[in-house]
Chains A and B, each alone.
Chain A
Amino acid sequence: MQSSQAAILHNKKVVDDYFRMRLSWSGMEVRPGQFIMLRVSDGLDPLLRRPFGIYNVIGAKKTTGFSFKRPTGVEILYRVVGKGTAILSSKEPGERINVLGPLGNGWVEPEEARNVIMVAGGVGLAPMLPLAQRLKAGALLFGARHKADTKIVAGFSGLGCKIKIATDDGSRGFKGFVTGLLAKEIKPDSVIYACGPAPMLKAVAVIALASGARCFVSLERTMACGIGVCLGCAVKTGAHKAGYEADGFSMVCSDGPVFDSTDIDWDAL
């Protein structure tokens, strides 16, 4: 964990409003599913940092473990949705940007890589790449608005995971929600890793529960600090698991962003 100035190594449009930014990295260990917070402007508006899932880890030493040791760069995949990401998309290579991270706990390592089903919606694809790089197996189900968006999935080819695509308009793959694909793929011994819009995650959690599969979700909430002190990114979590307070809240930044889907109070989300 550290706060430092990183060099922007590249910042490229992938397609439409999707961008990839590569940043220099000090060598701190990164676990799949962790995130960073960027200060997109040194000015006062926008004021808060923005959280981004780590999409790609560059130059890590080859290890057999789950985490990435001594990386020299990290990449984020982001979609321009507001003021902060618009500023980010205008940054040029060579500029410096303040980075806080790596933050959060990341994905829980599965026992059997081949049983893994990754389910991603839109920019929720980002934290799946480091996972796919480590697992080199399983399936990726990706939901997008239309065919053009599916360009962002290119980084997953050759990693050994089976890729299936759903689009809202049917312009590529299955027509409909990605959860339609999941219903066909899921088995009781599957381990689901999901990231995307809240309604998608809720639907994934319901399908997983019905089939008896273990399911982990990576959540996104508005955050101010990223280190568990502002208590802004609270989500309601269940009382049944040790370490959780009865009817209490968990912080997406420091307790998550990955949660067991059965821990989340989905009606309160």
Chain B
Amino acid sequence: MIKKAKPKVKIDKKAALALEVEIAGLELRNPVMTASGTFGYGSEFAPYTDLEKLGAIIVKGLSLKPRHGNPSPRIVETPCGMLNAIGLQNVGVEAFIKNKLLFLRKLKTPVIANIFGETVDDYRELALRLEDAGGVAALEINISCPNVKKGGIAFGTDPVEAHKVVSAVTSAVRLPVITKLSPNVTDIRVMVRAVQDAGTNAITLINTIPGLVVDVEKRRPMLANVIGGLSGPAIRPIAVRMVWEAKSVAKVPLIGSGGIISANDALEFILAWATAVQVGTANFLDPDAAVKVAVGIAGYCKRHNAAVKSLVGGMKARE
């Protein structure tokens, strides 16, 4: 049995209203989501945090068949961050629907399924399976994982391929579709336009940044996969910058992700045009981190007598 953590903090009614945002047609009680791959299937965090104080839960990336993931070592700590090459290990969409969704459906928090395929058809099939299953509020298309050989980032760095994947999903299902983009491109605006034209309802920026850490004594890469994805506070300024750049062409809402530890970090993204945010690596440091970010944003809204909606894009660039 999964014990629920007792809510430690209260957000009063007026403050609660100030936190509401809308993303891809979803009404979220607050702008804080959990980033895919950092929050398991939600239930793992139930003993430590109040899942119903989150804006949305994005589950670990799902593929059609279960994936074993990459050889070990898979993670290494870096200055103010970490490098990972998990390789999208997951239970597969059928086991997710059968074993994990029951718990998630009972929550009053929207559940967003992150999907990953090796082919365009994989993505379409995953989307259809999840829509049929019910209980999933939206899909997040992962075209940006740097740690797998097929699919993933191959779709995320080519605007034509990205358009194909996103179109395949948006034309197949009625569920709202979010597309998670890779920072590993020369001009993010090209990718934003491509997935927007393909009908995505929102865009998440950014996935991890490819990196490499070397063990100098052994003269070997620290990760078995050699390259991994860098996450954590070290990448936050890059992520905020990319949200800001994306906004110059984006017509759909943006979801900021990358190194958010505190409410202050989240507010940087919001002021730079993110409508919502995702907390990722911070969930590993503190399983209650995402809720603390939401509570902190509520405090900011109260102090500034402002609603989150009114803060989006509130950063004034110097003349």
Residues of A within 8 A of B (CB): 1-3, 39, 44-49, 98, 100, 221-225, 227-236, 245, 247-249, 268-269
Q: Is the CB of A230 within 8 A of B38?
A: yes
Counting from the closest, the 9 A-B pairs by CB-CB distance are: A232-B75, A229-B40, A224-B284, A225-B284, A44-B80, A234-B72, A231-B86, A44-B233, A1-B47
A198 nearest CB across to chain B (Å)? 11
B131 nearest CB across to chain A (Å)? 25
Q: Is the CB of A249 within 8 A of B69?
A: yes
Set of chain B residues within 8 Å of A45, measured between Cβ atoms: 79-80
Residues of B within 8 A of A (CB): 37-40, 44-45, 47-48, 60, 66, 68-69, 71-77, 79-82, 84, 86, 89, 232-233, 261, 281, 283-288
What is the CA–CA distance of A189 and B101 in the complex, to the nearest angstrom?
Answer: 45
Set of chain A residues within 8 Å of B66, measured between Cβ atoms: 245
What is the CA–CA distance of A100 and B60 in the complex, to the nearest angstrom?
Answer: 22
Q: Is the CB of B287 within 8 A of A249?
A: no
Q: Find B84's partner among A44, A47, A98, A232 (CB 8 Å cutoff).
A: A232
Q: Is the CB of B44 within 8 A of A227?
A: yes
Q: Is the CB of A235 within 8 A of B72?
A: yes
Q: Is the CB of A232 within 8 A of B74?
A: yes
Q: Find A39's partner among B37, B39, B285 (CB 8 Å cutoff).
A: B285
What is the CA–CA distance of A137 and B73 in the complex, to the nearest angstrom?
Answer: 37
Q: B77 — nearest CB in chain A belongs to which residue? A: A48
What is the CA–CA distance of A229 and B73 in the complex, to the nearest angstrom?
Answer: 16
Q: Find A1's partner among B48, B84, B288 (CB 8 Å cutoff).
A: B48
Set of chain A residues within 8 Å of B48, measured between Cβ atoms: 1-3, 227
What is the CA–CA distance of A128 and B80 in the complex, to the nearest angstrom?
Answer: 33
Set of chain A residues within 8 Å of B284, measured between Cβ atoms: 48-49, 224-225, 229-230
Q: A223 — nearest CB in chain B belongs to which residue? A: B75
Q: Is the CB of B44 within 8 A of A228?
A: yes
What is the CA–CA distance of A148 and B286 in the complex, to the nearest angstrom?
Answer: 37
A239 nearest CB across to chain B (Å)? 11
What is the CA–CA distance of A129 and B40 in the complex, to the nearest angstrom?
Answer: 33
What is the CA–CA distance of A45 and B285 in the complex, to the nearest angstrom?
Answer: 12
Q: Is the CB of A247 within 8 A of B38?
A: no
27 inter-chain pairs at a CB distance below 8 angstroms, sorted by A residue, are: A1-B48, A39-B285, A44-B261, A45-B79, A47-B80, A47-B232, A47-B281, A48-B284, A49-B285, A100-B287, A221-B72, A222-B77, A223-B75, A228-B44, A229-B39, A229-B44, A230-B38, A231-B69, A231-B89, A232-B75, A232-B84, A233-B75, A234-B69, A235-B72, A236-B71, A247-B68, A268-B71
5 more CB-based (< 8 A) A-B contacts, given A2-B48, A39-B286, A224-B281: A221-B73, A222-B75, A227-B45, A229-B283, A249-B89
Given A1-B48, A2-B48, A230-B38: A47 in contact with B72 (beta carbons within 8 A): no
What is the CA–CA distance of A47 and B231 in the complex, to the nearest angstrom?
Answer: 11
Q: B70 — nearest CB in chain A belongs to which residue? A: A234
Q: Is the CB of A48 within 8 A of B84?
A: no
Set of chain A residues within 8 Å of B79, measured between Cβ atoms: 45
Q: B47 — nearest CB in chain A belongs to which residue? A: A1
Set of chain A residues within 8 Å of B81, measured between Cβ atoms: 47
What is the CA–CA distance of A136 and B84 in the complex, to the nearest angstrom?
Answer: 42
Set of chain A residues within 8 Å of B232, measured between Cβ atoms: 44, 47
What is the CA–CA distance of A248 and B60 in the complex, to the nearest angstrom?
Answer: 17
Given A2-B48, A224-B284, A225-B284: A47 in contact with B82 (beta carbons within 8 A): yes
Given A47-B232, A229-B38: A2 in contact with B47 (beta carbons within 8 A): yes
What is the CA–CA distance of A105 and B34 in the complex, to the nearest angstrom?
Answer: 27
Q: Is the CB of B287 within 8 A of A230?
A: no
Set of chain B residues within 8 Å of A248, measured between Cβ atoms: 68
What is the CA–CA distance of A225 and B232 in the complex, to the nearest angstrom?
Answer: 13
Q: Is the CB of A227 within 8 A of B287?
A: yes
What is the CA–CA distance of A130 and B77 in the complex, to the nearest angstrom?
Answer: 30
Q: Is the CB of A222 within 8 A of B68?
A: no
Set of chain A residues within 8 Å of B39, measured between Cβ atoms: 229
Q: Is the CB of B283 within 8 A of A222?
A: no
A104 nearest CB across to chain B (Å)? 14
Q: Is the CB of B233 within 8 A of A236?
A: no
Q: A227 — nearest CB in chain B belongs to which residue? A: B44
What is the CA–CA distance of A10 and B86 in the complex, to the nearest angstrom?
Answer: 38
Q: B48 — nearest CB in chain A belongs to which residue? A: A3
Q: Find A249's partner among B68, B84, B281, B288 (CB 8 Å cutoff).
A: B68
Set of chain B residues within 8 Å of A221, measured between Cβ atoms: 72-73
- Of the listed residues A221, A230, A235, the one surrounded by the most CB atoms of chain B closer than 10 A to its CB is A230
What is the CA–CA distance of A126 and B86 in the complex, to the nearest angstrom?
Answer: 29
What is the CA–CA distance of A39 and B285 in the complex, to the nearest angstrom?
Answer: 7
What is the CA–CA distance of A232 and B283 in the complex, to the nearest angstrom?
Answer: 14
What is the CA–CA distance of A98 and B284 in the complex, to the nearest angstrom?
Answer: 13
